[in-house]
Each structure stands twice: as structure tokens, then as C-alpha cells.
Chain A
Amino acid sequence: MIAQLALYLQYPFVRYALIVGVLISLCSSLLGVTLVLKRYSFLGDGLSHVAFGALAVAAVVGLTDRMLLVLPATVLCAVLLLHTGQRGKIKGDAAVAMFSVGALAIGYLLMNLFSTSTNLSGDVCSTLFGSTSILTLSKTDLWLCVGLSALVLAVFVLFYNRIFAVTFDESFARATGLPAARYNLLIAVIIAVIIVLAMNLVGSLLISALVIFPALSAMRVFKSFRAVTVCSALLSVCCSTLGILVSILAGTPVGSTVVAVDIVAFGLFSLLGRLRA
């Protein structure tokens, strides 16, 4: 098995997949705690569907670099959703649901009407579940992913203390002079970037799992914000690496294998948390 793995690792696309997988899982887990605690989990889910819709539009228009459309569209939606959620007539979760199913439906409709591909259901399936896209990354994709991940990491580390303050108690943070609305916006934009990145790894339907499972697992066992954040980052990286390797060896779809490993890890951490208590 090791020999087989070594053989696979000689292929650049396998190495790219591993690098991108590690980076994406690292980034996506960082904000997991904040999303879960701020009750923003649904926002991530909604945005991933918006990203699917944008991808469909990009495919129909025939853009060669689809990121050019998907990234700005998703970020824009994140900003809009956060804004309407706070003061709009349609309340937060309903607005997100509206955007997300709307984008899904329109995306599929557009792909159906205008697609030139011979394997339409295969295309749709791979955008939704990310079955092959992680294994077909080009060098440009790789560098884009490295750059965006570095940006997300840098922003998270620099604003770590502010993100903590805004997550734990927004009123207090604002009362002591923190522009909380701006930081909520920053959080939403980072989520949007992460989601667009993560679409490559697990496809748009499974992204939330990547964001939420490591955070929930870490919260079962650890008790400080820093420990939970570090643990969920490490856990997420381990689960993704394991998932990618298993999927390569066993020939299973990458996205769902990674999520399955995350679920197993969640079970183990829950058990560990019980035993400790």
C-alpha cells in the first residue's frame, strides 16, 4: 500500500491535490468556531449554493477563468446577506434560504439550457460534490489557492483578538469602541473566499461540513478559544489529508470521503469529551 501511495505521489496532480486540500481545510476550520457561535453556520451553507449558481453562469458565459466571476459574486452576496439579515424586512435565515435555493435552481436551469457539455449530470454532480475537480487542478489554480489561503491566514491571525471580541460579545465590543459592523463584514468576506476555495475540494454542497465539523469536534474537548481554534485547525488538516489519501487508494469520491473522516473524528471527540467530564 505504501509503495502504491509513493507511486501516486509522483504524479503532480496528486501532490497539488494534497497541498490544496491541506490549505483549504486549514482556512475553513479557522472561522468554524466563530460561525458556529455567532449562529452563522447557515450563512456558509447559503453562500456555497450562491457560488454554485455563479459557477453555472460562468460556465454558460464561457469564461476560461471562472474564479473571476465566482469569487466577486460570492463575496457580494455575503455582504448583502449580512446587511439584510440585520435590518432588512426579510429576516436573516429566510433571506439566506431564499438566496441559496434561488441560486441553486437558476444555476441548474442555466446549465441545462445552455450547456454544450455531453455529460451534463456529471458536470452538475462534480460541482455539487466536488468529485474530480480537486484532481484536475492546474498550476494557476494551485497558486491562486496558495495566495488566497495565505491572505485568509494572515487576516485571521492579525485580527484574532478582534474576532474573538466580536464573537463573544458584540455589544460590549461596540461599547468599547470596536467597529463591530466592519468586523462582521470582514468575517463574511473571509467566509465567502473560503467557500470559493473549498468548492474545489468538496464541492458546494459539502463545504459547510468542512467549516463546522472540526470546530464542533474541538469544542467537545477543549475549553479555551485558542485551544479550540488550534485543535480544529490541526484536526481539519489531518482529516482532509487522510480523506484524500483514502480516496486516492480506494477510488472513492474525494469530497464525501473527507467529510466521512470528519464525521468519524467528531464521533471520537464527542466520546473523548464525555469521558473527560
Chain B
Amino acid sequence: MNFLEDKEQQRTPQLVCDNLTLGYGDRLLLRDLSFTVREGDYLCIVGENGSGKSTLMRTLLRLQPPLAGKVTLSGGLRATEIGYLPQQTDIQRDFPASVREIVLSGCQGRLGRRPFYGREEKRLAEESMGKLGVAELARRCYRELSGGQQQRVLLARALCATRKLLLLDEPVSGLDPRATSEMYALIEGLNREGITVIMISHDMHYALRRASHILQIGQDWFYGSKADYLRSPVGRNYLRAGREAEA
């Protein structure tokens, strides 16, 4: 065990949260949350609806400031090098855009001051589409794709933005079982290649099977490796509640 922990300490930290307090208006969602995500981690964020999972993710992405505390990127990771898979919006459902245009827009952060995408960005977009198996859909219209295909397109876009850290907000919501397992397999593949994954998930079974770390948020929060989570009172409570709900 000691050996494992030492090994964990050796990996470079990428994202450090210090005493984060989250909420909006008068509503306090989370208090004094601290954790460190290291290179290659597969972190699942779990918790009940309304517990602040999406707010936390938006804070990690700097889309929304925390009420207190701070998020620091380290290990040479720049803010523009984070890949993000948001939940789909209504706008996107009837958006006239080809798959290629959408994936290419993931290269946005690389443009700097240049107005147009160059050869390097186009190559990157092709590569991402190939990796996620949507290359043959490149000229198709996004709104005509199935839910699973759309999610893969958006993941390809996120991959254009990063080679280091992916943040996924419920990537399998609304997908059928087959598309869900395909999506999970793709995410695991990317994680095995060394990309750090932070994912909001409703699927506790999946999180406990595949994630390396669990962050549970809510009234009492927990952060740690999967093994620690299973031993912790928080984890045991949550699992018991889940089993009772199922039974």
C-alpha cells in the first residue's frame, strides 16, 4: 500500500483545488473542497442531483468563479489545453453544421491571433475524427446523427483542444446501452493513452468498476482512490442507499 501511495505522489499534479466553496446567490452547495488530480487519473464525480456536480465542473473550467478558494493548473497545463464535453444544448439540436466544422472548432484555442485554421489544425481534426470513428461522417450534418454519434463528435472536438485533460459532463446521458458502452470504451482508451479524465457520472456501478479515483459531493464529501472510497463510511452509506433504492 505504501508503495502504491509513493507511486501516486510521483505523478505530476495537473489540477489542484484548494478549499473551494461553491454556490450561487444565497445557496451554498459545497464548502472547503480540496483535492488534487494527477496525470493519468480517471476521476469520477458522483453525487445526487443538485449537489453541485456541474457547478464544480464549470468552476474547474473557469466558466464560473468559486465563492472562495482557488483552482490551480499545474504541470505545464494551460487553460486553453483542457478538453470539455458539455451536456448538449437545445441550440445544438437544430444547428446546421457538418461534423468536420464542429470538430475543427475544437482547435479554437490553438489559433492564438490567427483568424483561420491552418494545415496543422485540419490534420488534428482528421486524426481526432479517426480516433473516435466518426471520420466517415465528416461531411454529414450534425443534427441528423444519432445521439451516440453526436456525443462521439463532441468528444472528438474536445480531443482537438487537449492532449492532457478531458472534462466530461455526463457523457452517456440519453444514450442507449450499446452506445453507452461504446462511449465508455472510447473514454477508457483515451485514458490508457495517458489523458487524464474527470467525468461526472450517474452510474455508480461503472464508476466503481473503472475509475481510479472517486469524488463524491453532497452534504459530506469524499475524495480518494476507489479502494479508499469503498472502505470509507461515506462510500458505504452511499452504496447501501443505492442498493436499498434498487431493491
Mark A residues whose CB is within 8 Å of B: 33, 37-39, 157-162, 164-165, 167-169, 171-178, 219, 222-228
Contact = CB atoms under 8 A, between A and B. Distances in A.
Contacts of A219: 96
Interface stretch (B7-15, B79-87, B122-130, B196-204): B79-87
A177 B92 CA distance: 20
Given A172-B157, A173-B108, A159 B101 contact: no
Q: Could you say which of B58, B105, B109 has the most chain A C-beta atoms within 10 Å of its C-beta?
A: B105
A178 B109 contact: yes
B63 interface: yes
Nearest to B61: A175
Interface residues of B, number: 36
A227 B139 CA distance: 12
A229 to B, nearest CB: 9
B138 to A, nearest CB: 10
B105 A161 contact: yes
8 contacts: A161-B105, A171-B63, A173-B108, A175-B63, A176-B109, A178-B109, A223-B141, A224-B100
Given A172-B86, A224-B98, 14 more contacts: A37-B94, A160-B115, A161-B105, A164-B101, A164-B105, A165-B105, A168-B105, A175-B61, A176-B82, A176-B109, A222-B96, A223-B144, A225-B95, A225-B101
A165 B108 contact: yes
Contacts of A158: 115
Given A223-B98, A226-B101, A228-B96, A161 B84 contact: no
A185 to B, nearest CB: 18
Interface in B1-51: none
Given A168-B102, A175-B84, A224-B101, A161 B95 contact: no
B63 A174 contact: yes
B161 to A, nearest CB: 5
Nearest to A174: B63
Q: Could you say which of A157, A172, A175, A227 has the most chain B C-beta atoms within 10 Å of its C-beta?
A: A175
B36 to A, nearest CB: 20
Nearest to B160: A176
A173 to B, nearest CB: 6
A176 B80 contact: yes
Interface string B133-166: 0000001110010000000000001100100000
A40 B222 CA distance: 42
Given A176-B80, A176-B109, A226-B101, A159 B115 contact: yes
B223 to A, nearest CB: 22
A168 B84 contact: no
A161 B91 contact: no
Contacts, number: 93
Contacts of B139: 224
A177 B108 contact: yes
A224 B97 CA distance: 4
Contacts of B62: 175
A161 B96 contact: no
Contacts of B58: 171
B185 interface: no
A37 B98 contact: no
B111 A225 contact: no
Nearest to B115: A158
Contacts of A160: 115-116
B115 A225 contact: no
Contacts of B105: 161, 164-165, 168-169, 172-173
B84 to A, nearest CB: 4
Contacts of B111: 161
Contacts of B95: 37, 167-168, 225
Contact of B91 (A37, A157, A227, A228): A37
Given A172-B86, A176-B80, A33 B63 contact: no
A171 B84 contact: yes
A169 B96 contact: no
Nearest to B157: A172
Contacts of B140: 223
Interface in B164-223: 167
Contacts of A228: 96
B97 A176 contact: no
Q: Could you say which of B58, B97, B115, B144 has the most chain A C-beta atoms within 10 Å of its C-beta?
A: B97
A33 B117 contact: no
Nearest to A228: B96
A177 B80 contact: yes
Contact of A38 (B91, B98, B144, B158): B91
A39 B139 CA distance: 26
B167 to A, nearest CB: 8
B151 to A, nearest CB: 13
A178 B158 CA distance: 14
